[in-house]
């Protein structure tokens, strides 16, 4: 077992518990024990884009000091910080890069955080769970598949925060293949949705529900035209919008086709035979589809 520092973030502890639980279970199965950072705090969810806002970098940097503290103990083997939430990943990685590129900013932040046990040294490396899966390799994942997802048509959806801007991108920002590669490794059929990189509306969902519902309609219908049974995401906010805003999309568009949305880790857990019971709240319930599939699989063995 390789032990690695792990930052779940607020949403994975509450509305997206199914993402947190399935991530931990999948990595345990693949030989990685995710060690939750002690005393982590909210990262701020969106990276501040103006130049004079150093105070807004305090929250992410405090978390990176927690990583240093954890590295100082004997509880992790691989020092890199693993982050599953796409929004947290974007914020932490960009805040980290800002500190690395601007020693003056780093000094100011450290002066401000003088009560911390140690200053931030700017050396923490941040890795997204999908990047870690790529390191583990699709081949190894394929070897561990117990129930190949034969015949299941899966449409990967990337959203924004994992691919843009370029300096944080975990894959080619215009033509990524990470999610497709390992969906194939699970035995499922990948269907191509040309809206897979399109913004889902993000935080506009709080005040502009109708606008987000239109974007979601466009994305879901793209997947429907490609013949998808299921959509997989890596972001709790994409997941929420794509799932729950189908209610408004359905009301506004009579031809809307409901498609369930789950996290890629839940799909993996299913194929690796570690379970289907991670809970999670849904508008479009994925269980009928997944249950039907599991029964067919088990019946065939």
Nearer to other proteins, 101 or 135 (CB): 101
Nearer to other proteins, 221 or 271 (CB): 221
Q: Is 281 in the site for other proteins (CB under 8 A)?
A: yes
Q: Is 122 in the site for other proteins (CB under 8 A)?
A: no
Taking the complex as a whole, how short is the minimal distance between the CB of residue 82 and other proteins, in angstroms?
Answer: 18
Binders of other proteins among residues 209 to 268 (CB under 8 A) are 209, 211, 215, 236-237, 240, 244
Nearer to other proteins, 76 or 91 (CB): 91
Q: Which stretch binds other proteins (CB under 8 A): 121-129, 196-204, 249-257, 269-277?
A: 196-204
Beta sheet of 126-128, edge-to-edge order: 32-36, 2-6, 81-83, 126-128
Q: Which stretch binds other proteins (CB under 8 A): 24-32, 47-55, 114-122, 291-299?
A: 47-55
* Stretch 13-32: interaction string toward other proteins, x if CB under 8 A: -xxx----------------
Q: Which stretch binds other proteins (CB under 8 A): 11-19, 33-41, 71-79, 124-132?
A: 11-19
Site residues, other proteins (CB under 8 A):
9-11, 14-16, 42, 44-46, 48-52, 56, 85, 87-88, 160, 163-166, 173-174, 197-199, 201-209, 211, 215, 236-237, 240, 244, 281
């Amino acid at each position: 077992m390789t032990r690695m520092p792990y930052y779940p973030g607020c949403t994975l502890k509450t509305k997206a518990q199914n993402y947190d639980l399935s991530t931990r279970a999948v990595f345990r199965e693949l030989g990685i024990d995710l060690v939750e950072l002690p005393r982590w705090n909210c990262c701020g969810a969106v990276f501040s884009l103006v130049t004079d806002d150093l105070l807004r970098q305090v929250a992410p940097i405090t978390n990176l000091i927690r990583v240093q503290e954890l590295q100082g103990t004997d509880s992790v083997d691989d020092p890199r910080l693993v982050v599953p939430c796409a929004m947290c990943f974007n914020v932490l990685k960009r805040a980290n890069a800002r500190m690395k590129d601007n020693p003056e900013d780093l000094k100011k932040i450290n002066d401000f955080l003088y009560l911390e046990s140690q200053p931030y040294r700017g050396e923490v490396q941040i890795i997204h769970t999908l990047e870690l899966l790529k390191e583990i390799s699709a081949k190894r994942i394929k070897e561990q598949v117990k129930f190949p997802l034969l015949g299941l048509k899966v449409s990967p959806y990337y959203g924004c925060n994992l691919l843009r801007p370029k300096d944080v991108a975990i894959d080619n920002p215009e033509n990524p293949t990470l999610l497709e590669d390992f969906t194939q490794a699970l035995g499922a059929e990948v269907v191509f949705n040309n809206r897979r990189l399109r913004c889902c509306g993000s935080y506009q969902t709080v005040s502009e529900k109708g606008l987000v519902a239109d974007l979601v309609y466009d994305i879901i219908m793209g997947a429907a035209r490609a013949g998808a049974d299921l959509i997989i995401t890596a972001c709790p906010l994409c997941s929420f919008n794509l799932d729950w805003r189908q209610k408004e999309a359905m009301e506004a568009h009579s031809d809307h086709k409901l498609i369930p949305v789950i996290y890629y880790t839940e799909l993996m857990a299913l194929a690796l035979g570690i379970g289907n019971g991670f809970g999670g709240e849904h508008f479009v319930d994925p269980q009928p589809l997944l249950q039907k599939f599991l029964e067919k699989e088990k019946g065939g063995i």
